[in-house]
Amino acid sequence: MLRDGRADAALLYTPTDDVRGLDTETLLSERRSLCCLCPIPSHVR
């Protein structure tokens, strides 16, 4: 699900309670990094 160490954009919008089987620590770290650059509206989080 991760390509070249970057999460697919679709995965960034996946609820954190529905990421079974994924490298969630990497996903959440990338989500935090991307939120700094391009904030996700609070209703999507």
3-state secondary structure the chain: CEECCEECHHHHCCCHHHCCCCCHHHHHHHHHHHHHHCCCCCCCC
Q: Residue 10's pLDDT is what?
A: 64
CB 44 within 8 A of CB 25: no
The pTM assigned to this predicted structure is 0.22
The pLDDT tens digits for 18-41 are 666 666 566 556 555 555 555 556
